[in-house]
Chains A and B, each alone.
Chain A
Amino acid sequence: MTLAPSPVADVPVDDTDPFSHEVLEDPLPFHTALREAGPVVYLSRYDVHAVGRYEQVRAALVDWQRFQSAAGVGLSNFRTEEPWRPPSLLLEADPPRHDAPRRVLTSVLGQRALRTLRERWTADAEQLVDQVLAAGTEFDAVPALAEAFPLRVFPDAVGIGRDGREHLLPYGDHAFNAFGPPNDLVQKGEHRVAQLSGWVGEQCAREALTGDGFGAAIWAAADRGEITPQQAPLVVRSLLTAGVDTTVHAISAILYGFATHPDQWARLVADPSLARVAFDEAIRWESPVQTFFRTTTTDVRIGSTVVPEGRKVLMFLAAANRDPRRWTEPDRYDLGRDPSGHVGFGMGLHQCVGQHVARLEAEAVLTALARRVRTIELAGPTRRHHNNTLRAWETLPVRLTVG
């Protein structure tokens, strides 16, 4: 990465590396500094601009006209650099190419399409929670619940085969690391990336998918001409890339929130209909997806700073979600809050297309837990999992009491 002088005069400059292990371990102080420095900050380390306040993050997210995604939503600029894989037809595309794949996936993953899954996932969650509790009330919640549930239901819902599912989490982890700079987190995944990408690619073929899942529904849309047969496997790939790790870390975030805010757990037990709010509040509070980049398509004024055309702008969703200009007591995990409007799923036409799937998964797990578990507390030292884009837990030891 070349170090360039600040391209404009009157913009605060910060030389922190937001992708360093120090910041990834605890990004909150950096997010605070970023918000306080101004509406836009120049990050000299990577020669990019950054926004951390809610108002500017939200404005950049919805303004696809001036903040494009097709040049990549990571640090790498696809105008000048070769992407590590064929770009996503959703995440890394702009209108008009974005339109048809988005329309299809919106329909395939829409709330109404999920109604048939609700009953099954509720039963699956109850079964999983019963199994976990039967084995003991003290365990690491990351593998036991946060990973176990999405891995149990999501690959089946997409319709991929049984073999090789252990590749899903490492593939997603690498894909989200790859939005950052080519640091050690990216390097550690590179030796496997060809194998993982190959496996994921094989799962996206029509023949590899069951006849009743999201994957088959995407191929059916191709049969109706709504997307091309060339686009269908890449749309399936989006599910496999973005649909697993994100939900795993979201469920971890919820469990961490409750383990550290026992009064909020009592509230959920008393009123399980708060499960949906609990999920979105966790997305706001922890922001499993911390950052995405955009690229300016024209000179854009942010505050008093003009960001020139063709520049990468790093949007800190996590910082926006704890901006005191927008949220009261933002650091509290609070089921009494209305988390509506958080940008943890993004906003605008790229807003997470799978959010209803994730919400349903989390709701199923939480409802099952709330039925049986009276208290949740941390039972030992927790450890973060570092990823250039995701806020995640490696281990989350919990102790439950069952009522």
Chain B
Amino acid sequence: MLGVEQVGARWRSGTDRAQVQVHDKVRVADGVVTLTLAAPDGGRLPDWTPGAHVDLTLDNGLTRQYSLCGDRWDAYSYRVGVLLEPAGRGGSSYVHEQLAPGHVVGLGGPRNHFPLVPAGSYLFVAGGIGITPILPMIAQADLLGAEWRLLYGGRTRGSMAFLDELSAHGDRVQVRPQDEHGLLDLAGFLGHPRPDTPVYACGPGPLLTAMERACAGWPARALRTERFVAAEQGAPVRAGAFDVELRRSGRTVTVAPDTSVLEALSAVGVEVLSSCRQGTCGTCETTVLAGVPDHRDSLLDDDERAAGDCMYPCVSRSCSDRLVLDL
């Protein structure tokens, strides 16, 4: 029996820059580890939906996106799967070689650009580590009693993560390692186009390109993909302090690495109305007049992020030395 969450420092003293602590790191396949992450104070983590990812800011300064692949009914931990990419720029090798239980990493999001739309039946196709966002989707499809099937490909059986979990689903899941079966038979798996069946695919670029071809005869929007960006391309995030200039009040505030913009403003008496302090509700939206925000919220889509004209100072930070806000 669990106690009601003891509401702690989060509302008493404002928010700290969001962080999670590595609780567990397990090798689950050749070149794949899973991380179990929890709030350093043991509190609830922000809610998420299947298909969502988080940004993790690693100690080596890199920010990487990882799909959440745990159980959303557990509010106290996240699980992500990380593939080792020797040719990458250092995010995955850092996770594999250096990150250890007890380490604390920065958290952005969760955000979801790959949401599961309501339907009575689904088809899922996963390639390699692209299985991660699909895991909570099939859990959800199961929960809703939807029809679903999964085609899961990988280089070798030993490189394919979560086969043990997936085995519980019997013949709904087709596991097709390339060294045993060759390229995935997408046409055979998809069958005839069905108007009421969304097709979700996640994996490396060539698989998604093949999926687009294979779904050419399907209704528009039937195919929903997330390009699994194992390639290391997270936005650079400043590790150090930065300045925030408040144009209307003519003040400048320095934001230290371990405080949020919102806290830094509050410390000098500039109160910005906020509510969730997790970058999910949008209450603290603030107009950006100059500088480049480091968006870490769950609200803006890629275009809105690129526009750079507003930010949520409860979680978002700065890529530039200086941000100018309409405050």
The chain A residues found within 8 Å of chain B, CB to CB, are: 54-56, 58-60, 62-66, 95-97, 99-100, 103, 110-112, 224-228, 231, 276-277, 280, 298-302, 306, 326, 338-342, 345, 347-349, 351, 355-356
User: Are B275's CB and A345's CB within 8 A?
Assistant: yes
Inter-chain contacts of B266 with A (CB < 8 A): 338
User: Are A56's CB and B4's CB within 8 A?
Assistant: yes
**CB of B174 closer than 8 Å to a CB of A:** no
Cβ contacts B45-61/A at 8 Å (1 or 0 each) = 00101100000000000
User: Are A351's CB and B115's CB within 8 A?
Assistant: no
**CB of B140 closer than 8 Å to a CB of A:** yes
Min distance, Cβ B73 to any Cβ of chain A, angstroms: 5
Please give me the 10 A-B residue pairs with the lowest Cβ-Cβ distance, nearest first. Answer: A338-B271, A340-B274, A59-B5, A301-B3, A55-B7, A96-B140, A302-B4, A111-B285, A99-B49, A59-B4
**CB of B1 closer than 8 Å to a CB of A:** yes
**CB of B276 closer than 8 Å to a CB of A:** yes
Inter-chain contacts of B5 with A (CB < 8 A): 59, 62-63
Inter-chain contacts of B268 with A (CB < 8 A): none
**Chain A to chain B contacts (Cβ below 8 Å), 26 pairs:** A59-B5, A59-B6, A59-B7, A64-B47, A96-B140, A99-B49, A99-B116, A100-B117, A100-B118, A110-B299, A111-B282, A112-B310, A224-B221, A225-B117, A226-B115, A298-B1, A300-B1, A302-B3, A326-B11, A339-B273, A340-B273, A340-B283, A341-B277, A347-B275, A351-B275, A356-B283
Among B221, B276, B310, find the residue whose CB has the most chain A CB atoms closer than 10 A. Answer: B276
- B73's contact among A65, A276, A339, A341, by CB below 8 Å, is which? A65
Min distance, Cβ A137 to any Cβ of chain B, angstroms: 31
Inter-chain contacts of A342 with B (CB < 8 A): 275
Min distance, Cβ B164 to any Cβ of chain A, angstroms: 24
User: Are A99's CB and B4's CB within 8 A?
Assistant: no
A sample of 13 more A-B contacts (CB under 8 A), given A103-B112, A345-B275, A351-B275, is A63-B44, A95-B47, A96-B49, A99-B115, A100-B116, A103-B115, A300-B4, A338-B271, A338-B273, A340-B275, A340-B284, A341-B274, A351-B281
User: Are A301's CB and B1's CB within 8 A?
Assistant: yes
Say yes or no: A228-B118 contact (C-beta < 8 A), given A280-B273, A351-B281: yes
**CB of B198 closer than 8 Å to a CB of A:** yes
Q: How far is the CA of A173 from the CA of B44 in the complex (A)?
A: 35
Q: Closest B-chain residue to A56, C-beta based?
A: B4
The chain B residues found within 8 Å of chain A, CB to CB, are: 1-7, 11, 44, 47, 49-50, 72-73, 75, 112, 115-119, 140, 143-144, 198, 221, 266, 271, 273-277, 281-285, 299-300, 304, 310
Inter-chain contacts of B282 with A (CB < 8 A): 110-111, 356
User: Are B49's CB and A340's CB within 8 A?
Assistant: no
Inter-chain contacts of A55 with B (CB < 8 A): 6-7
Q: How far is the CA of A301 from the CA of B11 in the complex (A)?
A: 21
Min distance, Cβ A280 to any Cβ of chain B, angstroms: 6
User: Are A301's CB and B4's CB within 8 A?
Assistant: yes
User: Are A63's CB and B75's CB within 8 A?
Assistant: yes
Q: How far is the CA of A341 from the CA of B73 in the complex (A)?
A: 24
Q: How far is the CA of A55 from the CA of B275 in the complex (A)?
A: 15
User: Are A341's CB and B11's CB within 8 A?
Assistant: yes
User: Are B73's CB and A231's CB within 8 A?
Assistant: no
User: Are B4's CB and A60's CB within 8 A?
Assistant: yes
Among A302, A348, A355, find the residue whose CB has the most chain B CB atoms closer than 10 A. Answer: A348
Inter-chain contacts of A301 with B (CB < 8 A): 1-4
Q: How far is the CA of A349 from the CA of B75 in the complex (A)?
A: 12
Q: Closest A-chain residue to B140, C-beta based?
A: A96
Q: How far is the CA of A112 from the CA of B161 in the complex (A)?
A: 40
Inter-chain contacts of A228 with B (CB < 8 A): 118-119
Q: How far is the CA of A378 from the CA of B153 in the complex (A)?
A: 72
- B276's contact among A298, A302, A347, A356, by CB below 8 Å, is which? A347
Inter-chain contacts of A326 with B (CB < 8 A): 11
User: Are B117's CB and A62's CB within 8 A?
Assistant: no
Inter-chain contacts of A65 with B (CB < 8 A): 73, 75
Min distance, Cβ A219 to any Cβ of chain B, angstroms: 15
Min distance, Cβ B90 to any Cβ of chain A, angstroms: 34
Inter-chain contacts of B47 with A (CB < 8 A): 64, 95, 348-349
Inter-chain contacts of A224 with B (CB < 8 A): 221
- B275's contact among A60, A96, A112, A341, by CB below 8 Å, is which? A341
Q: Closest A-chain residue to B284, C-beta based?
A: A340
Min distance, Cβ A285 to any Cβ of chain B, angstroms: 15
User: Are A299's CB and B1's CB within 8 A?
Assistant: yes
Min distance, Cβ A281 to any Cβ of chain B, angstroms: 9
Inter-chain contacts of A60 with B (CB < 8 A): 4
Among A225, A277, A298, A338, find the residue whose CB has the most chain B CB atoms closer than 10 A. Answer: A225
- A95's contact among B49, B117, B277, by CB below 8 Å, is which? B49
Inter-chain contacts of B277 with A (CB < 8 A): 340-341
Q: How far is the CA of A306 from the CA of B1 in the complex (A)?
A: 9
User: Are A231's CB and B276's CB within 8 A?
Assistant: no
User: Are A225's CB and B221's CB within 8 A?
Assistant: yes
Min distance, Cβ A187 to any Cβ of chain B, angstroms: 35
Inter-chain contacts of A64 with B (CB < 8 A): 47
Inter-chain contacts of A103 with B (CB < 8 A): 49, 112, 115
Q: How far is the CA of A306 from the CA of B73 in the complex (A)?
A: 21
Q: Closest A-chain residue to B144, C-beta based?
A: A96
User: Are B275's CB and A58's CB within 8 A?
Assistant: no
- A355's contact among B118, B283, B299, by CB below 8 Å, is which? B283
Q: Closest A-chain residue to B136, C-beta based?
A: A96
Min distance, Cβ B54 to any Cβ of chain A, angstroms: 17
Q: How far is the CA of A340 from the CA of B75 in the complex (A)?
A: 23
Q: How far is the CA of A55 from the CA of B7 in the complex (A)?
A: 6
Among B4, B221, B281, find the residue whose CB has the most chain A CB atoms closer than 10 A. Answer: B4
Q: How far is the CA of A55 from the CA of B6 in the complex (A)?
A: 8
Q: Closest B-chain residue to A281, C-beta based?
A: B273
Inter-chain contacts of B4 with A (CB < 8 A): 56, 59-60, 63, 66, 300-302
Min distance, Cβ B99 to any Cβ of chain A, angstroms: 28
Min distance, Cβ A121 to any Cβ of chain B, angstroms: 17
User: Are A227's CB and B275's CB within 8 A?
Assistant: no
